[in-house]
Amino acid sequence: MSANLNAPISSPRSLTGEGWAAIAGAVGSALLLAKKLLGPKPAKPELMSRADFYAEMLEVRDRIQSNHLALIEKLDANHRELLAALERQAVRINAVEAGLARVDERTRK
């Protein structure tokens, strides 16, 4: 600090043209950035229409149902085949049991 109280007070600096241009550029950039960030977002185009989506969904459902029916038919065929095999085995087991019963009768005498 100066000890001289009567010293002239220095005048504030005035801005030059370059200073004003820098301020205007910064303010303009800030406004453009705010407009970009806060502005309305453009609507995204639909990838497919609702009608196409529902048509595709129905097609997939029909495909799944037809696959499901084919699987059920295969399971039924396998089930019938297994029942027939079990029936054949039961006949064979009954024949073996009858044979063992006869052998048992012969050995008891």
Residue entry with tokens 């499901």: 68
What's the pLDDT tens digit per position in 30-55?
999 888 888 887 778 878 888 999 99
Residue entry with tokens 């054949």: 88
Angle (nearest 5°) at CA 21 between 39 and 36: 10
What's the pLDDT tens digit per position in 90-105?
999 999 999 999 998 8
Q: Letter for the amino acid at 48? A: M
Return d(Cα 47, Cα 84) in angstroms, integer: 54
Over 17-28, what HEC string results? HHHHHHHHHHHH
Q: Letter for the amino acid at 84? A: A
What pLDDT score does 5 carry? Answer: 63
Distance spanning both ends of the chain, measured CA to CA: 141
Whether pLDDT at 23 is above 60: yes
Percent of the chain with pLDDT over 70: 86
